Chains A and B, each alone.
Chain A
Amino acid sequence: MHELWITKIFNNTLAGPANALLNAIHFPAADPASPWSDWMVCEILVFLFVIVLFAILRARLSVDRPGKLQHTMEVLYDFVHASSEEIVGHEGPRYLFYFGTIFIFILFLNLIGLIPGFDSPTMYPMVPLAFAVCTFFFYHFTGVRANGAGYIKQFLGPFLIMAPLMLPIEIISHFARPLSLTVRLWANMFAGEQVYLTFISLTKVVIPVIFIGLHTFVAFLQAYIFMLLAMVYVGGAVSHEH
C-alpha cells in the first residue's frame, strides 16, 4: 500500500520506538518495517498543530487588543457554549471541555485531508471509532455522576412493569450509538474523498474543485454533528428522571 511522504519519514526514523510500544501492549504491528500508518501520523500532526495553535493563542490573549486569532476562537467558544446550554441545559457548560475538544479535534482531522500530501484520519474507521467509544464512556460517566445509582432508572422505561421489555431495547439502542457515530463520520469523509477521486479521474480540471468545496462543508458539518450528538447523549444522561 502506498504511504504518504510524512509516514515514510516516521517509518524510517521512528519505527523502533513504535514497535517497542506495540510489543509492550502485546499487539505487534502487521509489518514491523512500517508500524506507522497514515492516519496515526496525520493524527499526531493535527494533535501537535492544535497544541501549538492554542499555546500561541494563550500567550497572546489580550483584553485591550484582541487579535484575529482570538476573535475567531471567541466566536467558536461562544458557539459551543451556546449550543451546550441550549441542548444539555443550564449545567451544559460544565462539560464544555469535552464538547470543545471533540469539535476542534475532529474539525482539524477532517480538514487536514484537504491539504495535498496529507490524509484525513477520519477516513479510516478506527479513528471515528475511538471518538465514539470515548463519547460512549463519557456520557455514561456523566450520567452516573449526575444521577448516582438512579441512573439505572433511565434504562427501565416509564413503568417498572415494563422493565423486562425496556431493558434489552435500551441496552441495544445505547450500543447502537457508538456504531452510528462511527459509521456516520467515517462514511461521510470516505464518500466525500471517493466522489472527489471519481470526478478527478473523469474531468481532470475545474469540476473537482466544486467537490472540494462540498467536502469542506461536509467536514465542518460532520464535526458539528458529532459534537451535537455528544451533547444530546450527555443531555439525556444527566437529565433528572421525572
Chain B
Amino acid sequence: MNKKLMMLAVTLLAIASPMFAQANGGAAAADPSNYRLAAAYIAMGIASGLCGLGQGRATASAAEAMARNPGAIAAIRVALILGLVLIESLALYTLVITFIAR
C-alpha cells in the first residue's frame, strides 16, 4: 500500500513538472529562477510534511509513555519538547532556504 502511494506521488511529481513549464509559457519557463523557486517551495512542502510525520511519531510515543508511567510526566515532557524543537529546526532550515532562493 505504502509503495503504491509512493509510486503515485513520484509519478504525479514527474507529470507535474512539464505541466508547470507549460503553464508559464516559453519565456517564463526558460528563466531558471522560476525553477529555483518551484524547487524551494516543493522542498518546503516535503520538509513540513515529513516534519509533521516525525513530530507525530514523537508525540505519539510520548503520550504512550506518559500513560504508562504518569510519575515521569515532567521528565517526558521536557524530552518531548526538546525533541519536537530539534525536529522542527530541520523544517526551519528549509524555510530559510526558500527565503534564500527567492
CB-based contact B81/A184 at 8 Å: no
Residue in A86, A87, A187, A229 whose CB lies within 8 Å of B95? A187
- A183:B81 contact, CB within 8 angstroms: no
Question: From A226, which residue of chain B is reached at the shortest CB distance?
Answer: B85
A169: CB under 8 A from chain B? Answer: no
Interface residues on B, range: 10 to 19
Nearest chain A CB to B81 CB, angstrom units: 7
Taking CB atoms, residues of chain B closer than 8 Å to A176 are 93
A63, B42: Cα distance in complex, Å: 59
Specify which chain B residues have a CB less than 8 angstroms from the CB of A52 in the assembled complex.
none
Are the C-beta atoms of A187 and B92 separated by less than 8 Å?
yes
B:53-102 near A, CB below 8 Å: 78, 81-82, 85, 88-89, 92-93, 95-96
**Is B82 a contact partner of A183 (Cβ separation < 8 A)?**
no
Inter-subunit contact A228/B82 (CB<8 Å): yes
- The answer to the question of A225 belonging to the interface, with a C-beta cut-off of 8 Å to chain B, is yes
- B78 and A229 contact, CB distance less than 8 A: no
Residue of B nearest to A176 (CB): B93
Return A225 CB to nearest CB of chain B, in Å. 5
B78 touches which of A87, A183, A184, A187 (Cβ 8 Å): A87
A151-189 contact mask (Cβ, 8 Å, vs B): 1 or 0:
000000000000000000000000010011001100100
A232 on the interface (CB 8 Å rule)?
Answer: yes
Smallest beta-carbon distance A190→chain B, Å:
11
Count residues of chain A with CB under 8 A from any CB of chain B: 14
Q: Which residues of A contact B88 (CB under 8 A)?
A: 184
Segment 78-136 of A: residues with Cβ below 8 Å from B = 83, 86-87
- A228 — which chain B residues lie within 8 A by C-beta? 78, 81-82, 85
B95 touches A225 (CB 8 A): no
A179 contacts across to B, CB distance below 8 A: 93, 96
Shortest B89–chain A CB gap in Å is 4
Q: Which residues of A contact B92 (CB under 8 A)?
A: 180, 183-184, 187
Q: Measured between alpha carbons, how far is A180 from B89 in the docked complex, in Å? A: 6
A177 and chain B: residue at smallest CB distance: B89
Q: Which residue of A lies closest to B89 (CB)?
A: A180
Closest to B75 in A: A86
The residue of chain A having its C-beta at the shortest distance from the C-beta of B96 within the complex is A183
Question: What 8 pairs across the A-B complex have the smallest Cβ distances?
Answer: A180-B89, A183-B92, A225-B85, A180-B92, A184-B92, A183-B96, A187-B95, A183-B95
Q: Give 19 A-B contacts (CB < 8 Å), ordered by A residue.
A: A83-B78, A86-B78, A87-B78, A176-B93, A179-B93, A179-B96, A180-B89, A180-B92, A183-B95, A183-B96, A184-B89, A187-B95, A224-B81, A225-B85, A228-B78, A228-B81, A228-B85, A229-B85, A232-B82
